[in-house]
Amino acid sequence: MADLAVQLTAPNGRSYSQPIGLFINNEWVKSSDGGKLTSINPTNETEITSVYAATAEDVDRAVTAARAALNGAAWGELPATDRGKLMHKLAELVEAHRETLATIETWDNGKPYTVARDEDLTEVAETLRYYAGYADKRFGQVIETTPDKLAYTVREPVGVCGQIIPWNYPLSMAAWKLGPALACGNAIVLKPAEQTPLSILYFANLVKEAGFPPGVVNIVNGQGAVTGAALATHPRVDKIAFTGSTATARNIMKMASGTLKNITLETGGKSPLLVFGDAELDLAVKWAHGGIMSNQGQICTATSRVLVHESVYDKFLAAFKAQVKTISKVGDPFAEDTFQGPQVTKAQYDRVLSYVDVGKNEGATLVAGGQPAAQPQASGKGYFVEPTVFTDVTPTMRIFQEEVFGPFVVILKFASEEEAIALANNTEYGLGAALFTTDLTRAHRVAKKLEAGMVWINSSNDSDWRIPFGGVKQSGIGRELGEAGLEAYSTIKAIHINMKSRL
């Protein structure tokens, strides 16, 4: 086992044992070709450690283990109530290990430690708990037809579920997918993002400690084009649940079509936030700032297009810029007062800065940021960018249409409600939308017209594990979270009984 875990000490002084293997059948194993991927600390660009990366052969082993778990008595015949108990136990273990998990998340991803510990890890434990309660509360129906026929339905697990997750909320995204899948009795092969492979491996040990039978949860790190593709094309995988970019989602749909897999997709966004003339401006400024600048702007639902009525535009812009200056402290993610850590990778850092050039070349006005941010460490390394604000933006510009996935916002003026709605819907995406008004009727009228899977009234990105999450248009297919999240993880079998020996 010595070469399947390493003892590490994080920048905040916390020491722990970091698994580096593939987690298959409740055991740690090496990849079949010995290949690894290396995780980089985005704060100072140093290597944290390397973990084994799964080949197609390894993915096949994981799928075989999952299939065996599904067909075995220990999981396949486990009473639903006991499935829920295992999930409750896992939630308790997550809480007991909250600080270590948050430390790994911050080290690997760059998000502020206080956010990882207090927000992400709370969400992980509570999502597991929420779905644990559903394990024995998902029933079929008895359906009346004629007196000589009894019909009923039962809900069955979909089967072996491949779950492909992104790097922006590594543990939360895993919990969103594991929660409903486990509650419904599926077996899982989960592929974390190659940029953030570490926290989920530590979590895997907790899965085993909670008492889940071997093969129920398997974790295979690896590159998308190798490990992810092996999962998406595997003939004995019944479902793919994916969160990531729209471009990759298109690819996954194609790959999954080979065996007509069930799919759910959570993809990109360019979510609008509308501020009407009658809005409470302080409230709007606070949420508009958090809606784009939190999590380094790496939020799929980030409200990255702010649309403000002309009557309050100047006031809003001045207050928004002041908010960016006072709240968006960029720095060491382990420091208590840091609001914004580094972007997750060099690629994302370059991407954000490249959009600054795009915006300037398109003729928009840069009114804040647009530069690499001062590095908190003497080395001068790290993927820090300044929170960036553009104005004088038009709908045809790329910075209006394309997802930047960073602390990068465009602010536009509108003159009427109709224009605001048209601007908001002028995108291929339809994930979230936010609106600020004190007019109750307008709030509901506009919410109805916005093309989005979620609308926040007088807040932004106020998501919750009890409430369905997902998009329309090119922002995805299906829903996660809430009761709706369960739909993706069970199938309905109809049983017809001839009560009168009907010929």
Q: Which of 105, 123, 126, 266 is catalytic?
A: 266
Instruction: Lay out the site mask for ligand NAD across 349-388 (x = CB under 6 A, - = otherwise).
Output: ----------------------------------------
Q: Nearest distance from residue 170's CB to ligand NAD, in Å?
A: 10
Name residues contacting ligand NAD, limited to 228-247 (CB under 6 A).
228-229, 232, 243-245
CA distance 401 to 270: 7
**CA 312 remoteness from chain centre:** 34
Closer by beta carbon to ligand NAD, 305 or else 321: 305
491, 480, 475: which is closest to 178 by C-alpha? 480
Closer by beta carbon to ligand NAD, 111 or else 309: 111
Residue 493's H or E segment, with its range, is strand 490-498
3-class state of residue 396 by DSSP: coil
Q: Nearest distance from residue 92's CB to ligand NAD, in Å?
A: 27
Residues 215 and 25 sit within 8 Å (Cβ to Cβ): yes
Closer by beta carbon to ligand NAD, 168 or else 388: 168
| Torsion angle of C-alpha atoms 55, 60, 63, 65, degrees rounded to 10 | -100
427, 488, 476, 482: which is closest to 166 by C-alpha? 476
Closer by beta carbon to ligand NAD, 329 or else 351: 351
Instruction: Lay out the site mask for ligand NAD across 300-319 (x = CB under 6 A, - = otherwise).
Output: x-------------------
Q: Nearest distance from residue 268's CB to ligand NAD, in Å?
A: 3
Closer by beta carbon to ligand NAD, 83 or else 270: 270
CA-based radius of gyration for the chain = 24
307, 255, 261, 259: which is closest to 284 by C-alpha? 307
Closer by beta carbon to ligand NAD, 265 or else 279: 265
Q: Nearest distance from residue 166's CB to ligand NAD, in Å?
A: 4
Instruction: Lay out the site mask for ligand NAD across 257-296 (x = CB under 6 A, - = otherwise).
Output: ---------xxx----------------------------
Q: Interacting stretch for ligand NAD, rule CB under 6 A, among 12-20, 188-196, 198-206, 483-491?
A: 188-196
Q: Nearest distance from residue 148's CB to ligand NAD, in Å?
A: 49
Among 96, 143, 225, 422, which residue interacts with ligand NAD (rule: CB under 6 A)?
225
Q: Nearest distance from residue 229's CB to ligand NAD, in Å?
A: 4
Q: Does 248 bind ligand NAD (CB under 6 A)?
A: yes
Q: Nearest distance from residue 486's CB to ligand NAD, in Å?
A: 18
Q: Does 297 bind ligand NAD (CB under 6 A)?
A: no
Among 405, 414, 436, 489, which residue interacts with ligand NAD (rule: CB under 6 A)?
405
- Classify 45 in phi/psi space as left (phi over 0), alpha (psi -120 to 50) or beta: left
Q: Tokens at residue 415, please?
A: 């003159």
Q: Does 70 bind ligand NAD (CB under 6 A)?
A: no
Closer by beta carbon to ligand NAD, 191 or else 309: 191
247, 297, 263, 282: which is closest to 428 by C-alpha? 247
Among 83, 89, 191, 239, which residue interacts with ligand NAD (rule: CB under 6 A)?
191
Q: Nearest distance from residue 455's CB to ligand NAD, in Å?
A: 16
Q: Does 403 bind ligand NAD (CB under 6 A)?
A: yes
- Cα angle vertex 14, ends 18, 376, to 5°? 105
Residues of 134-172 as b/e, b for ≥16 C-beta within 10 angstroms?
Answer: bbeebeeeeeeeeeeeeeeeebebbbbbbbbbbbbbbbb
Count the site residues for ligand NAD by CB under 6 A.
24
CA distance 84 to 210: 11
Closer by beta carbon to ligand NAD, 108 or else 332: 108
Helices (H) and strands (E) in the chain, counts: 16, 22
Q: Does 193 bind ligand NAD (CB under 6 A)?
A: yes
DSSP-H helix ranges across 296-336: 313-327
DSSP helix, strand, coil percent of the chain (3-state; round to 5) = 40, 20, 35
DSSP string, 154-210: EEEE--EEEEE--SSSHHHHHHHHHHHHHHTT-EEEEE--TTS-SHHHHHHHHHHHH
Residues 460 and 291 sit within 8 Å (Cβ to Cβ): yes
Closer by beta carbon to ligand NAD, 99 or else 428: 428
Closer by beta carbon to ligand NAD, 198 or else 252: 252
Q: Nearest distance from residue 220's CB to ligand NAD, in Å?
A: 11
| Torsion angle of C-alpha atoms 389, 395, 396, 402, degrees rounded to 10 | 60
| Torsion angle of C-alpha atoms 344, 359, 461, 446, degrees rounded to 10 | -160
266 catalytically annotated? yes
Q: Does 172 bind ligand NAD (CB under 6 A)?
A: no
Among 110, 159, 166, 485, which residue interacts with ligand NAD (rule: CB under 6 A)?
166
Q: Nearest distance from residue 19's CB to ligand NAD, in Å?
A: 18
Contact residues for ligand NAD, defined by CB under 6 A: 164-166, 168, 191, 193-194, 224-225, 228-229, 232, 243-245, 248, 251-252, 266-268, 300, 403, 405
List the catalytic residues: 266
